[in-house]
């Protein structure tokens, strides 16, 4: 598997533009395009997605950065000059989800939009953005796994190898594994979004719940192979947050059925689409 040897794509006005940031921005643009298409398929105003996108993205980046800073607080206490990063480095997907969802809840409430329907549409596109963004880890030679000599192993430069594996040269490309899983999850979620209005079994909110469960499981699996996990106590932080995601996903699916009669999700969609 080919490997980037320079994480810097180019320089602009003295600022180094990294491949990591470019991949993240590409993932965002592709994700927003998919959200607009799905909104049209579900009879919602795609312009709301464009209006909400800048605020949600900023909130997601802030959440991703704050979560990372909390987990690495010992390092940043000694290096306060690196607290603010303009190159989209030092971000976490769990923090991004928290920040983005909170902002989106507020915007839906403010604009009178059906949150559960929109949450399904938006979350179906999120794994595609994640998959593209994971290519940034490839460019940075980070988020890889334990040593392996499999044909698809990724070569890591000596400066970026874990201290526990100084003699290993090739490692599991866990960023690639997660990217593939994310694309599979996205395909399932997009199909669910399109099926909700026609199904008696699916409710608005089920896609959000399914994402939480599926991504939580996928990240738990991937994290077992990674070598650079951030820890909370004895376990990687991703274990705690992924476990929480799975529980939240189950709670959403169960509570939506308790609080809503069968097929009420479709009624909410229809009301929201004509409001």
| Residue position matching structure tokens 């607009």 | 36
Helices assigned H by DSSP within 13-114: 19-41, 46-71, 73-78, 93-111
Structurally, how many domains does the chain consist of?
Answer: 1
| Residue position matching structure tokens 């399109």 | 194
Alpha-carbon 118 to chain mean position: 17
**1 located within any domain:** no
Residue 184: partners with Cβ closer than 8 Å, 6 or more residues away: none
**176 located within any domain:** yes
Are 253 and 205 spatial neighbours (Cβ–Cβ below 8 Å)? yes
Q: Phi and psi for 13 in degrees, rounded to 5? A: 55, 40
| Residue position matching structure tokens 């994971």 | 134
The residues pairing with 226 across neighbouring beta strands, listed in sequence order, are 145
Q: Phi and psi for 106 in degrees, rounded to 5? A: -60, -45
**3 located within any domain:** no
Q: Specify the length of the chain in residues.
A: 275
Domain carrying residue 155: 8-273
Q: What is the pLDDT along the chain (275 residues), one digit of tens a residue?
A: 666 667 888 888 888 888 888 998 999 999 999 999 999 999 999 999 999 999 999 999 888 878 777 877 776 566 565 556 544 556 777 788 899 999 999 999 999 999 999 999 999 999 999 999 999 999 989 889 999 999 999 999 998 899 889 889 999 999 999 999 999 999 999 999 999 999 989 999 999 999 999 999 999 999 999 988 878 888 888 899 899 999 999 999 999 988 775 544 454 444 444 33
């Amino acid at each position: 598997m080919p490997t980037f040897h320079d994480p810097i794509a180019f320089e602009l006005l003295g600022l180094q533009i990294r491949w990591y940031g470019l991949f993240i921005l590409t993932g965002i643009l592709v994700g927003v395009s998919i959200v607009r298409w799905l909104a049209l398929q579900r009879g919602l105003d795609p312009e709301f997605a464009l209006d909400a996108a800048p605020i949600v993205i900023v909130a997601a980046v802030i959440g991703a950065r704050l979560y990372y800073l909390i987990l690495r607080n010992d390092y940043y206490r000694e290096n306060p000059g690196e607290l603010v990063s303009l190159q989209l480095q030092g971000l976490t997907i769990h923090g991004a989800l928290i920040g983005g969802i909170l902002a989106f809840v507020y915007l839906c409430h403010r604009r009178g939009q059906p949150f559960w329907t929109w949450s399904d549409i938006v979350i179906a596109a999120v794994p595609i953005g994640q998959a593209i963004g994971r290519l940034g880890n490839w460019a940075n030679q980070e988020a890889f796994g334990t040593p392996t000599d499999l044909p698809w192993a990724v070569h890591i430069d000596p400066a970026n190898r874990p201290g526990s594996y100084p003699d290993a040269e090739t490692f599991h490309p866990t960023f690639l594994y997660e990217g593939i899983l994310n694309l599979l999850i996205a395909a399932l979620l997009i199909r669910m979004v399109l099926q909700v209005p026609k199904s008696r079994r699916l409710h608005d909110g089920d896609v959000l719940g399914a994402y939480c469960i599926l991504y939580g499981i996928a990240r738990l699996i991937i994290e077992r192979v990674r070598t650079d996990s951030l820890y909370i106590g004895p376990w990687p932080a991703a274990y705690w947050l992924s476990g929480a995601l799975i529980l939240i996903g189950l709670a959403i699916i169960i509570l939506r059925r308790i609080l809503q009669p069968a097929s009420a999700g479709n009624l909410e969609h229809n009301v929201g689409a004509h409001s």
